């Protein structure tokens, strides 16, 4: 019998981080505190700016992956709260510090303030691999074609049942593409090796293949030409029309290849021990790191109605603080102005604001740290958008309490598995099982209490819109899997909640927007978990838009 071989793992601390023998770099001074609980608790990596290093709303997993440069899925072990509690870190750094020394400084801080001890190891983790299928359907390239995979550019209006989409590249180039019925996007790949195709798959729109690189295990040499199309996830009335094609089916049936998920030995970082409460800040933190004054308005802004082609692009922050929002309805901008994902929280928006679109280009002050890796900081952006709407659209508003439809999570006949109390609390978005309804999402939750699950439920689906109360009376942590269709949860009408009365009176389960199959979040919670979401009216603070002009003032 062969002996299993496991690499030796060494404990790591600030004194000997990853094999270092010299004293590691340290921040000059650092403020560490527990982050405030907010509905939009997204990690924001502000990085180094103006002699300061900032991380906001970071879980311990976020802090470790930034410090040691590991993906979040490769930070293993540790206590149950590792993905639950959030912290803010602000530190003073030397002017000559580099990104690498800043990581080492963060390692030192975690060891000092949280008593963190971690070690390297190797564990088998699922990773997508591209392999040969039964019948290859690729054409060998001549070798003169422009290499790469590109979405098929629009040539005229989209077909019936399709829609138009704007894609912005990192260098600012905008491409207009037409999505076909079933929300399918077609990529044209020319003069491309299988290694390059596998490497680029994760970055292609709609693939949703997770954080790890796709491995080329086809064994195919040379370069190839082919077209491939699949359906992208889309949460809207167009999302259920036409036949939908998964990425796996597209690769197998159109290319004669396969996407498989073998377990691959992968470098990971294991958490041996860590303190839940950071040690106290040293004296003088407030004086050394005074809070920065967030800007409240753009320096200058260009606002104009979107042209008749109906183009829509993402909200982006470009180098130098240039903010762009292309073809967005005014309602969307109002939501961003109050940094809200709850459409029922803002009332009084006129109907025309749902359809009238505007292009905005603005210059943010130099002091505004508005973006990090892959994310715009809407907390900082919100007051500037709000000031723009007040100035250019003459928006006025006030806040008041109104009765709204809220939900409580209650026990029916629970169908969940009792968790190992030593396992880490998490609720992860994973690929829905094959054959799931269009727009399906699957969440695998581990060692989660009902109070924690109720907190997360509001952000899992477009409904429910308000914080959910835990009324189950069920104690302890639980393991379960929940699969539901996002499109089944999207009501038609001006807001996510269909005016705030969906589900009342009568059944607590709102009607689906269209019969596309699958479970709503309400049905899934009841049928799969044996719990219920019960509707009840209670007063909540809402923002009332008193006045809004359709035509913006002149630039």
3 state DSSP class of 528 = helix
Is the Cβ–Cβ distance between 119 and 9 less than 8 Å? yes
Cα distance between residue 477 and residue 483, in whole Å: 19
Q: Write out the H or E segment, with its range, that includes residue 157.
A: none
Q: Helix (H, G, I), strand (E, B), or coil: what is residue 343?
A: helix
pLDDT band at 212 (very low <50, low <70, confident <90, very high): confident
Dump pLDDT digits (tens) for 443-480.
899 999 999 999 888 877 777 889 999 999 999 999 99
CA dihedral 399, 404, 410, 412 (to 10 degrees): -160
By three-state DSSP, how is residue 333 classified? helix
- Of 373-377, 427-431, 495-499, 541-545, the range with the lowest mean pLDDT is 495-499
Rg of the Cα atoms in the chain: 25
The three-state secondary structure class of 429 is strand
For residue 532, report the phi and psi dihedrals to the nearest 5 degrees: -140, 150
Q: CA–CA separation, 460 vs 485, rounded Å?
A: 11
**Integer Cα distance of 311 and 308 in angstroms:** 8
Q: Is 212 helix (H, G, I), strand (E, B) or coil?
A: coil
In sequence order, which residues have a C-beta less than 8 Å from that of residue 455 and are 6 or more positions away? 467, 468
CA-wise closest residue to 77 among 269, 267, 275: 269
Higher pLDDT, residue 207 or 503? 207
Name which of 212, 198, 296 is nearest 255 in CA terms. Answer: 198
Which pLDDT does position 82 carry in this prediction? Answer: 94
pLDDT above 80 for 43 = yes
Q: How many helices (H) and strands (E) does the chain have?
A: 10, 31
| E-only strand ranges, 465-547 | 469-470, 478-485, 531-547
Q: Which H helix or E strand runs over 213?
A: none
Rounded average pLDDT over 392-408: 96
Q: Note the Cα 91 to chain centre separation in Å.
A: 26
Percent of the chain topping pLDDT 70: 80
Q: Count of CB atoms within 10 A of residue 302's CB?
A: 12
How many CA atoms lie within 13 Å of 404's alpha carbon, on the beta-carbon side? 26
**Measured in Å, how far apart are the chain's first and last C-alpha atoms?**
78
Q: Cα 21 from chain centroid?
A: 38
Spatial separation of the C-alpha atoms in residues 522 and 355, rounded to whole Å: 29
CB 109 within 8 A of CB 68: no
CA distances, 12 to each of 113, 271, 410 (Å): 15, 10, 44
- Sheet strand arrangement including 263-273: 11-12, 117-126, 263-273, 75-77
Cβ neighbors of 104 (< 8 A, separation 6 or more) are 17, 20, 24, 25
Instruction: List the chain domain ranges.
Output: 11-123+267-278, 129-166+174-261, 300-393, 403-540
Query: What is d(CA 215, CA 208) in angstroms, rounded to the nearest whole number?
Result: 15
Q: How confident is the model at residue 162 (pLDDT cuts 50, 70, 90)?
A: low
Separation of alpha carbons 424 and 64, rounded Å: 15
pLDDT of residue 316: 81
| Percentage of the chain exceeding pLDDT 90 | 55
Nearest to 413 by CA among 528, 310, 258: 528
- Does position 544 have pLDDT exceeding 90, yes or no? yes
H/E element, 171: none
Task: Round to whole Å and give the CA distance between 452 and 445.
Answer: 10
Helix or strand (DSSP H, E) at 228: strand 224-231
Amino acid 7: pLDDT: 38
The pLDDT of residue 550 is: 95
Q: Which residues pair with 494 in a beta bridge?
A: none
Reported pTM: 0.77
Provide the 10 A C-beta neighbour count for residue 400: 10
Angle of CA points 365, 371, 373, to nearest 5°:
155
Instruction: Tell me how far apart the alpha carbons of residues 86 and 84 are, in angstroms, rounded to a whole number.
Output: 7
**CA-CA-CA-CA dihedral for 256, 258, 259, 265, to nearest 10:** -140
pLDDT tens-digit map of 486-511: 765 444 333 333 333 333 322 333 33
What confidence score (pLDDT) does residue 366 get?
Answer: 73
Contact in structure between 167 and 205 (CB atoms under 8 Å): yes
pLDDT confidence of residue 10: 37
Beta strands per DSSP E along 96-197: 117-126, 129-132, 139-140, 148-151, 163-168, 174-179, 184-192
What does residue 538 show for φ and ψ, rounded to 5 degrees?
-150, 155
Q: Tell me what the pLDDT averaged over the chain comes to.
A: 83
What integer is the mean pLDDT of 75-101?
A: 93
What confidence score (pLDDT) does residue 496 get?
34
Beta bridge partners of 402: 540
> Mean of the pLDDT values across residues 229-245?
61
């Amino acid at each position: 019998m062969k002996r299993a071989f496991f690499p030796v793992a060494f404990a790591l601390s600030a004194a000997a981080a990853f094999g270092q023998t010299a004293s590691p770099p340290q921040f000059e001074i650092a403020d560490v505190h527990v982050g405030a609980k907010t509905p939009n608790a997204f990690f924001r990596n502000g990085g180094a700016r103006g002699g300061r290093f900032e991380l906001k709303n970071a879980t311990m997993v976020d802090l470790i992956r930034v410090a040691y440069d590991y993906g979040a899925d490769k930070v293993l072990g540790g206590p149950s709260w590792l993905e639950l509690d959030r912290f803010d870190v602000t530190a003073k750094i030397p002017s000559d510090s580099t990104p690498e020394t800043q990581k080492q400084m963060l390692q030192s801080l975690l060891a000092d303030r949280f008593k963190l001890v971690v070690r390297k190891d190797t564990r088998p983790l699922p990773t997508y691999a591209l392999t040969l299928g039964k019948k290859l359907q690729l054409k060998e390239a001549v070798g003169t074609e422009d290499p790469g995979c590109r979405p098929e550019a629009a040539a005229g209006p989209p077909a019936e049942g399709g829609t138009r989409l704007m894609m912005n590249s990192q260098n600012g180039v905008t491409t207009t593409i037409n999505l076909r019925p079933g929300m399918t996007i077609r990529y044209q790949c020319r003069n491309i090796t299988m290694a390059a195709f596998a490497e680029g798959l994760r970055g292609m729109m709609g693939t949703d293949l997770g954080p790890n690189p796709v491995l080329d295990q086809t064994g195919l040499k040379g370069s190839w030409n082919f077209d491939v199309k699949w359906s992208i996830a889309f949460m809207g009335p167009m999302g259920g029309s036409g036949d939908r094609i998964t990425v796996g089916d597209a690769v197998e049936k159109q290319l004669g290849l396969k996407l498989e998920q073998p377990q691959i030995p992968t470098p990971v970082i294991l958490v041996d021990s860590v303190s839940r409460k950071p040690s106290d800040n040293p004296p003088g933190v407030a004086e050394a790191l005074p809070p920065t004054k967030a800007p409240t308005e753009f320096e200058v802004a260009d606002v104009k109605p979107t042209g008749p082609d109906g183009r829509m692009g993402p909200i982006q922050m470009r180098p130098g603080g240039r903010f762009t929002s292309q073809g967005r309805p005014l309602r969307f901008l109002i939501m961003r102005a109050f940094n809200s994902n709850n459409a029922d929280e803002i009332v009084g928006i006129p109907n025309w604001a749902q359809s009238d679109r505007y292009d905005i280009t603005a210059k943010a002050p130099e002091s505004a740290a508005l973006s990090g890796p892959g994310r715009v900081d809407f907390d900082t952006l919100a007051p500037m958008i709000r000031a723009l709407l007040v100035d250019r659209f003459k928006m006025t508003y006030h806040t008041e309490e109104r009765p709204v439809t809220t939900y409580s999570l209650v026990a029916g006949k629970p169908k969940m598995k009792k968790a190992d109390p030593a396992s880490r609390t998490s609720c992860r978005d994973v690929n829905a099982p094959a054959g799931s309804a269009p727009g399906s999402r699957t969440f695998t939750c581990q060692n989660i209490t009902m109070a924690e699950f109720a907190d997360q439920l509001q952000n899992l689906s477009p409904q429910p819109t308000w914080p959910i109360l835990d009324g189950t009376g069920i104690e302890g942590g639980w393991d379960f899997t929940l699969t539901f269709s996002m499109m089944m949860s999207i009501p038609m009408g001006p807001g996510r909640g269909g005016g705030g009365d969906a589900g009342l009176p009568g059944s607590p389960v709102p009607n689906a927007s269209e019969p596309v199959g699958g479970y709503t979040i309400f049905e899934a919670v009841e049928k799969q978990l044996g719990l219920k979401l019960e509707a009840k009216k209670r007063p909540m603070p809402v923002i009332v838009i008193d006045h809004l002009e359709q035509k913006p003032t002149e630039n």
